[in-house]
Structure 1
Amino acid sequence: MIYYMILAVSYIACLMPGRLADAVGRSIALVLWPFLPKKRKELAVKQIIDCLGVTETEAKHIAKESTLRFGSMLLEVLRFPYINRHMEDFVTIEGKEHMAAGLAAGRGGIIATGHTGNWELLGGALSHAGFPIVGVAQRQKEAAADKFINRYRTMIGMHITYKDDVREMFQMMKQGWAIGLLADQDANRKDGIVLNFFGHATNCVTGPASLARSQNVPMVPIFITKQKDGRHRVICHPPIEVAHTKDKKKDIADALQQYQNILEAHIRAYPTEWFWLHDRWKSMRNRS
């Protein structure tokens, strides 16, 4: 029942003009904003000040805007059936040659991205541009939500696999597919690697570089940002080659540090589009 209710809301969203959908999404987020836990807001503000060196007033603005944008992002996901038919009107891609170079050997590749911009739209945009994309999904607790989001991800061109199905990822890469991984959140103490991020020692996930190294494929940093006119811009960076020396940990760390530097620069350029509410340094505090 819930699944069909979501589809009904999606149908209505598809009938809306883009700017109206954005306004509705932002209005929903504004209604929910006061109910967000105070400690979570304070955490976001503190992280923004520590990372960007801005005033508290500016940090509060960035924290709020980075949260409110989830409303319009939600409406965009609901409008995927419409966007899928008009992708070229919604997204432009810069640096497609970098993505092409990363896949040129025919062994597949790794896309390293983050929770910035509408990352749900990113895979679909690349798929429409002719790149074979595998989206790695986190299984949702609510079955209806899981069914809906994966149906819509598939609709816009991606092949979807769950994050625990590493065997399928290897198989898809051998067939030339690019595996899209979110690589900007806190890792657990056992699996993470400590690198520099915004001048702080930060525990980072190793998955993108580990997979790239094990399969001898490049890691391509790619991000998406929303412009003032409502269109999105996908930015593809040159591939990062992961070394394959006797020091596996250093190979992975060196490649991931390159990615962290690119991610940091992107966040500095578009600070209101990153997910600041995430407790990025939680595991580092727990180490002390």
Structure 2
Amino acid sequence: MSDEKPSFWQDMAWRFEALVYDAFVALVRALPVDTASDVGGWLLRHIGPITPTRKLVRQNLDLAFPDKDDGWKARVIKAQWDNLGRTFAEFAIMDRIRIGNGRVIVENMERLKDIAAGNQPVVFISGHFANWEIMPSTIVDSGVECQMTYRAANNPYIDERIKAGRMRYGVRLFAPKGGDGAKELLIAMGKGDSVALMNDQKFNRGVETPFFGRLVDTAPGPTRLAMRFGTVLQPMTVVRLEKARFRVIVHDPIEVDNTGQKAQDIETTVAKVSAFIEQVVRDRPEEWFWVHKRWPNDAYKPGTPKAP
């Protein structure tokens, strides 16, 4: 987001958007948890298929699953709109979706407790699965001191509201993505805090890794942090059970390769992360965030051959 002072009309537009955002949040928070989730799912099941983004979702599925038939893809597309709509609605009520009230169960909580009790920070990694905000709230609830990252919203008024909403469920540490964010993460790990990052989206000038049979640019930052501090990558994923109920899986750690060849070790470790993300997407394709360009631009051109 630019530091330039916005024009009068830009500021007015942002304020109007913030009012709409406030109205939506107020509506969602007035509803029971499952009803709010249902409303979000219903809305995007009906709105998503008429947005321009629908074409990108289908293109992504064609790239990832070229051998699946149209019926299978149609079912996944409908289900991913439902999941995405539920997730957006649930963002406003995350303080009501917690381990303490039984809406979140954790598989391998012992691992989180060990991290909280130990002196060695880890680098948590995940992807945009189910309601991905469940991951940081679970880390907070487990007692792990952890620095979270986020991308600031373009609208500064909405950005402040998003941060306030996260504070309602205990997530108080934010490191803006980019150069300054990297510095803050280094400082956090240097004082013994863990960090948590998403590692499933396109990162220009990243490390090329295989993903569904094609090379994609993947962020090496999490791997570099783990390598620098001599720790592991700790994967976590979120599964939607039904409505606004979830299972969080704390997976086995991913060890950073250490052959002495730093560049090669980063590349092979990032490839392991990419393979992990791919397997989770294959297991539950309807719960991934398909509305972004994960593959290189050339892959989206007409006539692009199937992946080998």
Assess same fold via TM > 0.5.
Answer: yes
Residue 250 of structure 1 is matched in structure 2 by 264
Residue segments in structure 1 that go unaligned for 5+ positions in a row: none
Write the distance in 2 (CA, Å) between the matches of 1:5 and 1:133: 32
Describe the shift of the 1:104–1:260 C-alpha distance in structure 2 as closer, same or farther (beyond 3 A): farther
Counterpart of 2:125 (choices 98, 112, 134) is 112
Q: Are the aligned partners of 2:113 and 2:142 in contact in 1 as well (CA < 8 Å)?
A: no
Residue 51 of structure 1 is matched in structure 2 by 64
Q: Are the aligned partners of 1:92 and 1:232 in contact in 2 as well (CA < 8 Å)?
A: yes
Describe the shift of the 1:98–1:227 C-alpha distance in structure 2 as closer, same or farther (beyond 3 A): same
Describe the shift of the 1:102–1:210 C-alpha distance in structure 2 as closer, same or farther (beyond 3 A): farther
Residue 29 of structure 1 is matched in structure 2 by 44
Write the distance in 1 (CA, Å) between the matches of 2:91 and 2:243: 18
Q: Are the aligned partners of 1:169 and 1:179 in contact in 2 as well (CA < 8 Å)?
A: yes
What is the letter of the counterpart of residue 58 of structure 1?
W
Q: Is 1:210–2:224 an aligned residue pair? A: yes
Q: Is 1:141–2:154 an aligned residue pair? A: yes
Give 4+ residue runs of structure 1 displaced > 4 Å after superposition: 1-5, 100-105, 283-286
Deviations 1:150-209 (A, max 9, x none): 122232222222112222111211233221111111121xx2111122222222111111
3-state SS in 2 of match to 1:79: helix
Pair member with larger Rg: 2
What is the letter of the counterpart of residue 39 of structure 2?
V
Q: Is 1:282–2:259 an aligned residue pair? A: no
Residue 60 of structure 1 is matched in structure 2 by 74
Q: Is 1:178–2:194 an aligned residue pair? A: yes
What is the letter of the counterpart of residue 43 of structure 2?
I
**Superposition pairs of residues 1-288 of structure 1, within 5 angstroms:** 3=18, 6-7=21-22, 9-37=24-52, 40-52=53-65, 53-83=67-97, 87-100=100-113, 106-158=119-171, 159-164=173-178, 165-188=181-204, 191-228=205-242, 230-283=244-297, 285=299
What is the letter of the counterpart of residue 267 of structure 2?
A
Describe the shift of the 1:242–1:78 C-alpha distance in structure 2 as closer, same or farther (beyond 3 A): same
Deviation at 1:33, TM superposition (A): 2.0
Write the distance in 2 (CA, Å) between the matches of 1:31 and 1:185: 26
Q: Are the aligned partners of 1:87 and 1:125 in contact in 2 as well (CA < 8 Å)?
A: no
Describe the shift of the 1:217–1:100 C-alpha distance in structure 2 as closer, same or farther (beyond 3 A): farther
What is the letter of the counterpart of residue 249 of structure 1?
A
Write the distance in 2 (CA, Å) between the matches of 1:185 and 1:22: 25
Deviations 1:45-95 (A, max 9, x none): 2332342332122112212321332221122111124336x7442111112
TM-score by length of 1: 0.87
Question: What is the root-mean-square deviation in Å for CA atoms of aligned residues?
Answer: 2.5
Describe the shift of the 1:199–1:101 C-alpha distance in structure 2 as closer, same or farther (beyond 3 A): farther
Deviations 1:24-49 (A, max 9, x none): 11222134224311xx4333223323
Q: Are the aligned partners of 1:203 and 1:284 in contact in 2 as well (CA < 8 Å)?
A: no
3-state SS in 2 of match to 1:249: helix
Write the distance in 2 (CA, Å) between the matches of 1:41 and 1:15: 30
Q: What count of residue pairs does the alignment treat as equivalent?
A: 282
Identity %: 23
Deviation at 1:266, TM superposition (A): 1.2
Deviation at 1:279, TM superposition (A): 1.4
Deviations 1:208-258 (A, max 9, x none): 111111222211111111102531111111111213443112111222222
Describe the shift of the 1:67–1:282 C-alpha distance in structure 2 as closer, same or farther (beyond 3 A): farther
Q: Are the aligned partners of 1:67 and 1:275 in contact in 2 as well (CA < 8 Å)?
A: no
